[in-house]
Amino acid sequence: MDGLVRALGALRAESFALEHDPVEPTVLAEAERTIGDAAQAVGATLDAPEDARRLVGACEAIVAAHERIEALLTARGRPRDFMGLDADPRRAVRRLLEQIQDCTASDWV
């Protein structure tokens, strides 16, 4: 769970760049919706943190949100990559899932 929460935090950090530029309210709303969708997918893992299907779903939602926010930033002329995700979405999901599964209890302190 810690890795998923960290990834959500990184998404939020990426979206801050949008807030510092004069953008249309619809752009900010889309970024918030995208992050909200990812947060819901992460929330679905809370009651079953060992469920691989839910973990993969959460990772996919986070990667999709990252790609969308990156696209919004690029459209504004400010591409950034705070999360350091792979350009290939499948590899990015696999890498994020591995990072989350490798977290130990000591990582949560």
What pLDDT score does 36 carry? 94
What pLDDT score does 93 carry? 73
- Tell me the pLDDT tens digit for each residue of 5-18: 888 898 888 888 87
**Average pLDDT of the residues of the chain:** 78
Mean pLDDT to the nearest integer, 19-24: 73
Buried b (16+ CB within 10 A) or exposed e, 29-54: ebbeebbeebbebbebbeeeeeeeeb
DSSP for residue 105: G
What pLDDT score does 41 carry? 92
How many other CB atoms are found less than 10 A from the CB of residue 72?
21
Confidence band (pLDDT; 50, 70, 90) for 43? very high
What pLDDT score does 96 carry? 73
Domain ranges (residues) in the chain:
2-104
Q: How many CA atoms lie within 13 A of 9 on its CB side?
A: 6
Rounded to a whole number of angstroms, the CA Rg of the chain reads 14
